Structure 1
Amino acid sequence: MLNCMIIDDEPLAVRLLGDYVAKTEGLTLSGQFTNPIEGLQSLASTKVDLLFLDIQMPELTGIQFAKIIKGKYPVIFTTAYEEYALQGYDLDVVDYLLKPISLERFQQAIAKAQQRTQPAHNNNAAVASPATNHIFVKSGYQTQRIAYDDILYLEGLSDYVRIQTRQGAILTLENMKDLVNVLPEQLFMRVHRSYIVALDKINYIENNRIVIDEKHIPISASYQEQFWNFVGKER
């Protein structure tokens, strides 16, 4: 059961989303607000698993709100303006719903949210299920979409990270810690302070070194137990 909070300065939009929550199995409404400041304050005392955030609101926009909570709560943006979609991806939101929102599109977004939050509600889950099949990263003046299946490995360098893909290398200023937290753990594993590997791209392992596409990647001592446990389960 996901506890949902709706924050939108339009009362009709709040009513519609509340109606959709009531009609959707697995959801319950824990709060609804037309004032984003009141909604933000209520988070301290309310159990919330999923936030529906309007983007254009007075006093505090949905974008500003999402930056304040810093990923603590999964967010679905709701807005009449599609030009904010890229900012939504940068903030790693679950989905981006354009008004007017149909019940079918709403439930598609809920399916994504349930996939993303499943590990937190099921301690017996072996691995997390990815909500998407790609990642967005900032590279230069662009935000690039990279499919998980195209990634071979990530290499942390002094001031940036190199993401090696089938098509070539992409450089980003994002750090390794943030990237390993975003990438699905059943597909990627950190094996060294400077390396994250795509598990299904490993050609072979030799002397605690992983070989991917002729690249030799060391497995450091602090990651060896985790990695070899994974290999043992895969046999």
Structure 2
Amino acid sequence: MLNTKILIVEDEVLIADYIAELLEEEKFTTIKLAHDEDEAKFLMDSFLPEIILMDINLNGLNAGIELAKNKNGKAKVIFLTGQYDYKLMNDALQTNPDSYLTKPIKKQDVIAAINLVIIKQKANFITIKDGYDEVKISLDDILFIKSDANYIDIQLLNKKYTTRQSLDAFLEEIQSDNFKKVHRSYIVNRSKITKKNSTSVFVNEIEIPLSRKLDFEL
């Protein structure tokens, strides 16, 4: 996905430019640079990057860690650091980054880290047709899927998408253990189940029938 939106947050201009050049050589086309905290906040809100290469020691204040805690949406963070300090790295790891790279930055390390994030992201999304548009849906946002003849309804928290597909084909496509067929007409995201009894599972207050033929445990 060479059009993946990448934000480089690095106060050393030469390093930021060097990383951008490495990415451009690999044909990544959607790259923005931020050299301070305010610029980074603005671009996280407006550019909405999918991957952030984040300098931990931004302006010498470790501001990268705080920025990572307040990143936009589901953006993935790869930390950049020029030193190894146990407490600093422990604080950084608490933000659950996808990777971290040490300076001096090496091309093969940057590209490998970004490609790994892209592979993980791709595995966690499904793309469906919505009219004439293609919509990318995060699997984490799906509550359950209901079958209706030759169509399925993909239920999110505040939205529903309908597409022509079978439940079994959906399961085959996503290849995720988080999703379980609990009834001939329903697949449920196991992580969204809030309650279960002998005949039903519940996603929040929505009751979904549980097939007697299926051996299902939370």
TM tier relative to shorter chain: 0.5 to 0.7
Aligned to 2:119, which of 100, 115, 118? 115
2:9, 2:54 within 8 Å by CA — same for their partners in 1? yes
Name the residue aligned to 2:18: 16
Name the residue aligned to 2:53: 52
Alignment RMSD: 3.7
Name the residue aligned to 1:186: 176
In the superposition, relative to structure 1, how do residues 2 and 226 fare at CA in structure 2: closer, same or farther (>3 Å)?
A: farther
In the superposition, relative to structure 1, how do residues 219 and 103 fare at CA in structure 2: closer, same or farther (>3 Å)?
A: same
Name the residue aligned to 2:36: 35
Matched AA of 1:19: E
1:52, 1:75 within 8 Å by CA — same for their partners in 2? yes
Q: Tell me how far 1:78 sits from its aligned partner.
A: 0.6
2:191 match: secondary structure? strand
When structure 1 is superposed on structure 2, of 80-89 and 57-66 the one drifting more is: 80-89
Matched AA of 2:176: Q
- Where do 1:84-123 residues align within 5 Å? 84-118=88-122, 122-123=126-127
1:10 & 1:72 partners in 2: Cα distance?
Answer: 26
1:28 match: secondary structure? coil
Q: Tell me how far 1:187 sits from its aligned partner.
A: 2.8
Matched AA of 1:104: Q
TM-score of the aligned structures, taking structure 1 as reference length: 0.53
In the superposition, relative to structure 1, how do residues 225 and 127 fare at CA in structure 2: closer, same or farther (>3 Å)?
A: farther
1:22 & 1:46 partners in 2: Cα distance?
Answer: 18
Matched AA of 2:8: I
1:207 & 1:226 partners in 2: Cα distance?
Answer: 10
Q: Tell me how far 1:69 sits from its aligned partner.
A: 2.3
**Offset from partner CA, 1:79-134 (integer Å, 9 cap, x none):** 112333333332121211111121111111112210233267751489869xxxxx
TM-score of the aligned structures, taking structure 2 as reference length: 0.57
Identity %: 17
1:52, 1:76 within 8 Å by CA — same for their partners in 2? yes
Larger gyration radius, structure 1 or structure 2: 2
In the superposition, relative to structure 1, how do residues 47 and 220 fare at CA in structure 2: closer, same or farther (>3 Å)?
A: closer
When structure 1 is superposed on structure 2, of 4-13 and 16-25 the one drifting more is: 16-25
Matched AA of 1:2: T
1:78 match: secondary structure? strand
Q: Tell me how far 1:47 sits from its aligned partner.
A: 4.2
1:72 & 1:119 partners in 2: Cα distance?
Answer: 14
1:86 & 1:226 partners in 2: Cα distance?
Answer: 44
Matched AA of 2:39: E
In the superposition, relative to structure 1, how do residues 227 and 190 fare at CA in structure 2: closer, same or farther (>3 Å)?
A: farther
Q: Tell me how far 1:60 sits from its aligned partner.
A: 6.5
In the superposition, relative to structure 1, how do residues 19 and 186 fare at CA in structure 2: closer, same or farther (>3 Å)?
A: same
2:45, 2:72 within 8 Å by CA — same for their partners in 1? no
1:116, 1:128 within 8 Å by CA — same for their partners in 2? no
1:45 & 1:191 partners in 2: Cα distance?
Answer: 30
Matched AA of 1:123: T
**Offset from partner CA, 1:134-155 (integer Å, 9 cap, x none):** xxxxxxxxxxxxxxxxxxxxxx
2:45 match: secondary structure? coil
Identify unmatched segments of 5+ residues in structure 2. Answer: 129-135, 141-173, 179-189
